[in-house]
């Protein structure tokens, strides 16, 4: 697969990642068609961006490579109802997350090359970095290599996204899926939000003002995360005070101790043995009752009321969608 108008790519889904992939690949010289449900929420957006939009079934029939960029829990049905019987013989089937393939929810046809390409950044960043001549690092993997050229296809796709301008790392479907789920659950989303809520509750229950607590445990977190992002823990230590450093050294391990790490290992075990995915599938099939309850509980937490009031006075935040909309954008990707 080379970067040319002779290579036909179908992007199924046009959320945050889908749009970035489609635009970058087109600008890299590929012939890109977008597959979306007629009348879906993103059809007009894809057409406004100048793409030919077809139903997923029609979009994939002539495609050399089909990229599945829809939410995880709709991919099994999408594959069984649309992709399996419409993908042409010997096509490349590409995923940006390995969950469905790794856990056996999708069993790809034997004649297909099956690969994974995952940019390590939200869609808006993938597009923005490409436009200014840079790129976001990508990881890639090969699950099924029928043609003998599956790795070449994955690398060409990653290059078309701009990944070759930054860094491309080979992985496996297993490694990408399990580490991605663990990072989200134990650190980035579940761990961070629970830590922030617990810190807020501790300060408020001790009699401190909720507004002060918000600034100390949530608002200023961005400053620290930015330093992590720019240069790791070393850079963070360079920019905080000696007092903050000493507190880090003596108190961090009291909060995140060996028992926390043991529970992290339990989380990882549940991911590795399929317990998490089975539970998530059952929850999805039941209509998401617990999911909605948990989601509402987070929205109703006192830190959210205080934060909304304080952020309304932060004029620099107004009109800034930023990466905070990425997860919601994934959910609106239409199949």
For residues 224 and 116, membership in a common domain is answered with no
pLDDT at 332 over 70: no
Q: Is 14 labeled as ligand-binding? A: yes
The CA-to-CA distance between both ends of the chain, in Å, stands at 25
Is 142 inside any structural domain?
yes
The pLDDT of residue 318 is 83
198, 62: one domain:
no
- The verdict on 158 and 227 lying in the same domain is no
Q: Is the pLDDT of residue 98 over 70?
A: yes
* Longest CA–CA separation in the chain, Å: 67
Q: Is the pLDDT of residue 137 over 90?
A: yes
Give the model's pLDDT for residue 136.
97
Q: Choosing from 21, 97, 102, 219, which is the catalytic residue?
A: 97
Reported in sequence order, the residue ranges of the chain that DSSP labels E, i.e. its strands, are 8-12, 31-35, 52-54, 65-68, 92-95, 113-119, 138-144, 168-170
When pLDDT is cut at 50, 70 and 90, the band that residue 1 belongs to is: low
178 has binding-site annotation: no
Residue 1 lies in a domain: no
Is 21 among the residues known to form the active site?
A: no
For residue 133 the two structure tokens come to: 């001549």
Mean pLDDT of 138-166: 97
CB 23 within 8 A of CB 127: yes
40 and 164 fall within a common domain:
yes
Residues 233 and 151 in one domain: no
User: Of the ranges 36-45, 171-180, 264-273, 288-297, which one carries the lowest mean pLDDT score?
Assistant: 36-45
pLDDT at 315 over 70: yes
- Ligand-binding site membership of 176 (annotated): no
Integer Cα distance of 199 and 191 in angstroms:
12
User: pLDDT > 70: what percent of the chain?
Assistant: 93
Contact between residue 20 and residue 26 where contact means Cβ atoms under 8 Å apart: no
Is 331 a member of any domain?
no
Number of domains in the chain: 2
Is it the case that residue 333 has pLDDT exceeding 90?
A: no
Q: Is residue 329, in this structure, part of any structural domain at all?
A: no
Stretch among 55-69, 158-172, 247-261, 320-334 having the lowest mean pLDDT: 320-334
Q: Which residues contact 53 (CB under 8 A, 6 or more apart)?
A: 33, 34, 35, 36, 43, 46, 47, 59
Contacts of 124 (CB under 8 A, 6+ apart): 16, 20, 321, 322, 323, 326
Ligand-binding annotation for 7, yes or no, is no
The secondary structure of residue 47, as a DSSP letter, is H
* Residue 322 pLDDT: 54
- Of 5-9, 192-196, 261-265, 306-310, the range with the lowest mean pLDDT is 5-9
Ranges 3-12, 221-230, 244-253: which has the least confidence: 3-12
Provide the pLDDT for residue 7: 87
Mean pLDDT along residues 276-295: 97
Q: Are residues 300 and 273 in the same domain?
A: yes
Residue 218 lies in a domain: yes
Asked, for residue 61, whether it belongs to a domain, the answer is yes
CATH number at residue 38: 3.40.50.720
CA 246 → CA 56, 224, 232, 237, 249, distances in Å? Answer: 56, 16, 18, 10, 5
Of the pLDDT bands very low, low, confident and very high (cuts 50, 70, 90), residue 6 is confident
Residue 152 among known ligand-binding residues: no
Do residue 275 and residue 162 come from a single domain?
Answer: no
Taking the C-alpha atoms of residue 42 and residue 332, their distance in angstroms, rounded to an integer, is: 8
Same domain, 94 and 221: no
Binned at pLDDT 50, 70 and 90, residue 171 comes out as: very high
Q: Is residue 176 part of a domain?
A: no
- Residue 41 above 90 pLDDT? no
Clarify whether residues 17 and 147 are in a common domain: yes
Is 307 marked as binding a ligand?
no
Same domain, 28 and 74: yes
At 306 the pLDDT is 98
What pLDDT is attached to residue 321?
52
- Residues 187 and 313 placed together within one structural domain of the fold: yes
Gap between the Cα atoms of 127 and 268, Å rounded: 32
In a domain, 332, yes or no: no
- The reported pLDDT for the residue numbered 248 is 98
Tokens linked to 6 = 């002779």
Residue 176 has pLDDT above 70, yes or no: yes
- Residue 44's domain comprises 8-171
CA 154 centroid distance within chain: 18
Stretch 35-47: mean pLDDT, rounded? Answer: 93
Whether 124 and 210 map to the same domain: the answer is no
Average pLDDT of span 306-327: 77
Residue 165 annotated in ligand binding: no
């Amino acid at each position: 697969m080379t970067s040319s108008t002779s290579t036909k790519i179908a992007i199924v889904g046009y959320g945050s990642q889908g749009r970035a992939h489609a635009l970058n690949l087109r600008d890299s010289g590929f012939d890109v068609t977008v597959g979306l449900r007629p009348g879906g929420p993103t059809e007009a957006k894809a057409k406004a961006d100048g793409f030919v939009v077809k139903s997923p079934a029609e979009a994939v029939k002539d495609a050399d490579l089909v990229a599945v960029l829809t939410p995880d829990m709709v991919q099994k049905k999408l594959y069984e109802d649309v992709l399996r019987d419409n993908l042409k013989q010997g096509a490349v089937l590409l995923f940006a997350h390995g969950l469905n393939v790794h856990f056996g929810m999708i069993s790809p046809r034997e004649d297909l090359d099956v690969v994974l390409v995952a940019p390590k950044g939200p869609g808006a960043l993938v597009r923005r970095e490409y436009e200014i001549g840079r790129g976001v690092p990508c990881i890639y993997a090969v699950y099924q290599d029928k043609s003998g050229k599956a790795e070449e296809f994955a690398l060409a796709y990653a290059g078309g996204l701009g990944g070759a301008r930054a860094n491309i790392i080979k992985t496996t479907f297993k490694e990408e899926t399990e580490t991605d789920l663990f990072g989200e659950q134990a650190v980035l989303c579940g761990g961070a939000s629970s830590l922030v809520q617990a810190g807020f509750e501790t300060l408020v229950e001790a009699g401190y003002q909720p507004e002060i607590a918000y600034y100390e445990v949530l608002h200023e977190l961005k400053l620290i995360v930015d330093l992590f992002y720019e240069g790791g823990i070393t850079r963070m230590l360079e920019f905080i005070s000696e007092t903050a450093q000493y507190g880090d050294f003596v108190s961090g391990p009291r909060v995140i101790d060996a028992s926390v790490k043991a529970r992290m290992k339990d989380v990882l075990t549940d991911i590795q043995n399929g317990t998490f995915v089975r539970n998530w599938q059952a929850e999805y099939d039941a209509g998401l009752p617990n999911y909605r309850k948990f989601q509402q509980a987070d929205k109703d937490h006192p830190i959210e009321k205080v934060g909304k009031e304080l952020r309304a006075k932060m004029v620099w935040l107004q009109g800034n969608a930023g990466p905070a909309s990425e997860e919601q954008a994934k959910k609106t990707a239409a199949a």
